[in-house]
Amino acid sequence: MQVLDDITELNLAVELLRRKARVSIVHHETGVSRPKLRILYRELHGRGAPSGQLSAIGGATIQTRLQQVHAGLFAALYEHYAGPAISRQLDIRAVIAAHDFYVSLVLQEPLVDFNGAWVIARDLRVGMSELRSCDVCEVRYLISSESRLAPTCPFCVLHARRGGLGEPRLVLPAVLAQPLDDTDTAALSRG
């Protein structure tokens, strides 16, 4: 099955390079040689792959609460796809799925590029980052041991900073908590 394995690895490498993953990451994940990856990168993007070191410590790159929110959104999606094994292994296909979903949700410029996503997944595996649930607003958020930010919930901080009164809570506003008008569901059950 060696040929099939090679094709699978090459396809994965192309999927990663399309997302502008660093050659070092793609080589690590697929075993495809670096020269071949550089050629592929140039064919896909019309210019050479960027060189230089990848951030050694993901948490250190999370410098603002908004970045922490974005990183946490990616991490929660990644956890959803990869399951509880994220602290034991890096699931590269789950990184791809979660990052694609993250980019589709974020309407402005994403704050976490694919390489940042891979670093977050790696930090979750080695225990330098973790997802916690906020006791106050009940949202999952990411903390990193190397971040200069206090290891607290970014949603509560941003809520307070923007003049939010009281504590943010994941409770439906009263108007939405009312039983819905039943015409839609009635139509469904009739249909």
Which chain residues interact with Zn ion by CB under 5 A? 134, 136-137, 153, 155-156
Nearer to Zn ion, 43 or 138 (CB): 138
Least spacing, CB of residue 116 vs Zn ion, in Å: 23
CB of 129 to Zn ion, least distance (A): 17
Token couple for 77: 């999606």
Secondary structure of residue 143 in the 3-state scheme = strand
133: which strand partners?
A: 140
**Residue 47: both structure tokens together:** 């210019």
Considering beta carbons, is residue 58 or 168 the nearer one to Zn ion? Answer: 168
Q: Strand pairing of 129-133 and 140-144?
A: antiparallel
CA angle, 78 then 46 then 100, to 5°: 15
Q: Which residues, other chains included, contact 191 with Cβ-Cβ below 8 Å and sequence gap of 6+?
A: none
Q: Output the smallest distance, CB 141 to Zn ion, in A.
A: 7
What's the closest the beta carbon of residue 157 comes to Zn ion, in angstroms?
8
128 and 62 in contact (C-beta within 8 Å)? Answer: no
- Residue closer to Zn ion, measured from CB, 75 or 153: 153
Choose between 166 and 191: whose C-beta lies nearer to Zn ion. 166
Provide, rounded to whole angstroms, the least separation between the CB of residue 152 and Zn ion. Answer: 8
Q: Residues 61, 64, 69, 71: what is their CA dihedral angle, to the nearest 10 degrees?
A: 0
Q: Which helix (H) or strand (E) holds 133?
A: strand 129-133
Q: Which is nearer to Zn ion, 54 or 134 (CB)?
A: 134
